[in-house]
Amino acid sequence: MAKKNGSDKNINRTIIQYFEWYVEGNHVLWNKCRAQAPRLAEFGITDVWLPPAYKAGFIEDNVGYAVYDMYDLGEFEQKGLLKTKYGSKQEYLDCIKAFHDADIRVLADVVLNHRVGADEFEDVSAVKVDPHNRYNNWSDPYTISAATVFNFPGRNGKYSKFTWNHTHFTGVDWDNNERQTGNIYRFADKNWAGDVSNEMGNFDYLMGADVDVYNPEVKKELESWGKWYLDLTGVDGFRMDAVKHIGASFMKEYIAKIRDYKKDRDFPVIGEYWHGDINVLENYLNQIEGCMSIFDVPLHFNIRQMSYADGNYNMADIFNNTLIQRRPQNAITFIDNHDSQPGQSLESFVNTWMKQVAYALILLHKDGIPCVFYGDLYGIPNTRNIPIPRLRTLIRVRHDFAYGEQHDYIDHYDVIGWTREGDDDHPDSGIAVLLSDKRDGMKRMYIGKKFAGKCFRDCMRKIREVVTIDDEGYGDFTVQGFSSAVWVTEPAYEYLVINED
């Protein structure tokens, strides 16, 4: 069966987040990427989201979100090491080339909101604010010692002469005079950005030294960095971190300038706006005029709730109040990620038994672009989470066979399903999917008259009986309780069995 991948717009896209919070350090990830790229492409991955590639502000084994120097991709002796957690600059460039050689698009993780690990302190007039409502002042202005001088002595001006001081930030969470944790300080001559999340009163501040993206010098520098990064790395898209903490008007303008520079209006950008209320997400998409996709956090929470409900969840409601329902063109669906995994700040991990069902849901439904989590594909040794069985098979089914008109049967408390009729561009395409969160079930579903007399088999390998499609294009498809069944044509089934991991 001929394989087409990232450059073919007629192929279903599947992203993989190629890291988890505890992924092995020791500078090996970029080399692992280079080795695994052909394998990922072979079973249907089209896009890979890589972690932040620049030098972090503290300790070697840092995921990268505590960003220190965005120009240091593991090239300079800074913060006590040369390489980043994941490897050297050259190893990063080599892994991007390996993905491109495998026809996989690369999405770079872009962290614009904050800086951590300043080189010097400076005295700044600031106001201590209520951490739970940042509009409430807890003090009059007074002088603090703020970690806001970033002059990058190890890089010594290479790539950019720009250095940072307190005028480029709006606030910090540390006064080196008081040396107390848990406080937030807004600089007396600054205001929080108004077009951010209204959580905590105003959620401009997240961590470290909060970047003032509306400072003209900062805007110019961030645009210069973006152009430098694109020219150097050749990445194909951005995953924007923490966008609910960054002014919406800045973000819309920044993305437009990046796309203008790339001369590519379709340059993919995915934003992380962590909120479970669909109305909040829709409001943000309206603010930015839909210029990026965002993660479907409400769907993640629906799936998690279902996974712990012991069968007492109405599966017919699974898509209610989600992006995939309201704004499918902007929806990036996911089950878990590095923030929701056990031990992290946004921990909301989906119950393991539900993972295969959940991946069938996001990978095989026509709406949204799914993002597979590294920890679900490979496991998470640190927290003893196992790889999800037959996840690669589900990705193959999406890539090769999940095409054509969809017919939904999302109409039952315990068992839901849908079919895809297939199309002429994808040989042997056409699928039927059934999902159960409790009991065995059966649905008579239409898959198309062209399949009359043809046999379908469950590639999840749980149901041995064959389903024969009748003259009207219907089949009686079944599923075991607490399980998923994915029915494909016999030639597709044989191909999947041969290539099963």
Q: What is the pLDDT of residues 288-336, one digit of tens each?
A: 999 999 999 999 999 999 999 999 999 999 999 999 999 999 999 999 9
Catalytic residue among 241, 336, 400, 437: 241
Residue 195 parent element (H or E): none
**Whose CA is closest to 141, among 96, 97, 186?**
186
Per-residue pLDDT band at 2 (split at 50, 70, 90): very low
Tokens representing residue 474 in the block: 């219907």
Distance separating alpha carbons of residues 305 and 318, to the nearest angstrom: 10
Residue 295 burial by CB count (10 A; 0-12/13-18/19+): exposed, middle or buried?
buried
Structure-token match 């007629």, residue found: 10
* Mean pLDDT for the stretch of residues 184-188: 98
pLDDT at 4: 58
**How much of the chain is in helix, strand and coil states, percent to nearest 5?**
30, 25, 50
The reply to whether 241 belongs to the active site is yes
Per-residue pLDDT band at 58 (split at 50, 70, 90): confident
Give me the amino acid identity at 389: P
Tokens representing residue 174 in the block: 């540390």
Q: What average pLDDT does the structure give for the chain?
A: 96
69: three-class secondary structure by DSSP = strand
pLDDT at 6: 61
Integer angstrom CA distances of residue 181 from 193, 233, 346: 23, 38, 20
pLDDT at 208: 97
Per-residue pLDDT band at 193 (split at 50, 70, 90): very high
CB 339 within 8 A of CB 348: no
Residue 277 has pLDDT above 90, yes or no: yes
Cα Rg, the chain, nearest whole Å: 24
Residue 264 has pLDDT above 50, yes or no: yes
Residue 286 has pLDDT above 90, yes or no: yes
CB 493 within 8 A of CB 486: no
pLDDT at 271: 98
Q: What is the pLDDT of residues 399-451, one digit of tens each?
A: 999 999 999 999 999 999 999 999 999 999 999 999 999 999 999 999 999 99
Residues 6+ positions from 67 with CB-CB distance below 8 Å: 52, 54, 55, 56, 57, 111, 114, 115, 116
Q: What is the pLDDT of residues 323-369, one digit of tens each?
A: 999 999 999 999 999 999 999 999 999 999 999 999 999 999 999 99
pLDDT at 5: 72
pTM over 0.85: yes
Per-residue pLDDT band at 25 (split at 50, 70, 90): confident
Distance separating alpha carbons of residues 316 and 386, to the nearest angstrom: 28
Concatenating the DSSP letter of every residue in 442-464 gives: EEEEE--GGGTT-EEEETTSS--
Q: What is the pLDDT of residues 96-127, one digit of tens each?
A: 999 999 999 999 999 999 999 999 999 999 99
Residue 125 parent element (H or E): strand 120-130
* Mean pLDDT for the stretch of residues 258-286: 97
pLDDT at 1: 45
Cα maximum dimension of the chain: 81
Alpha helices in 44-157 (DSSP H): 89-101
Delineate the domains of the chain, giving CATH numbers in brackets.
15-112+216-401 (3.20.20.80), 115-211 (2.40.30.140), 406-498 (2.60.40.1180)
Catalytic residue among 272, 421, 437, 458: 272
* Mean pLDDT for the stretch of residues 89-95: 98
Alpha helices in 54-204 (DSSP H): 89-101
The reply to whether 423 belongs to the active site is no
pLDDT at 475: 98
**Whose CA is closest to 303, among 236, 358, 263, 254?**
358
Per-residue pLDDT band at 62 (split at 50, 70, 90): confident
The distance from CA 3 to its chain's CA centroid, rounded to whole angstroms, is 25
With vertex at residue 52, the alpha carbon angle to CA 336 and CA 365, rounded to the nearest 5 degrees, is 35
* Mean pLDDT for the stretch of residues 254-270: 97
CA neighbours closer than 13 Å in the CB half-sphere of residue 330: 22
CB 293 within 8 A of CB 268: yes
Phi/psi of residue 233, nearest 5 degrees = -95, -30
Tokens representing residue 311 in the block: 């069968």
| Strand ranges in 33-82 using DSSP code E only, listed in sequence order | 47-50, 55-56, 67-69
pLDDT at 411: 95
Q: What is the pLDDT of residues 484-495, one digit of tens each?
A: 999 999 999 999
- The dihedral region occupied by 81, where left means phi > 0, alpha psi between -120 and 50, and beta the remainder, is beta
Per-residue pLDDT band at 3 (split at 50, 70, 90): low
Most confidently modeled range among 1-10, 56-65, 230-239: 230-239
Distance separating alpha carbons of residues 210 and 148, to the nearest angstrom: 9
**Whose CA is closest to 18, among 342, 377, 274, 397?**
377
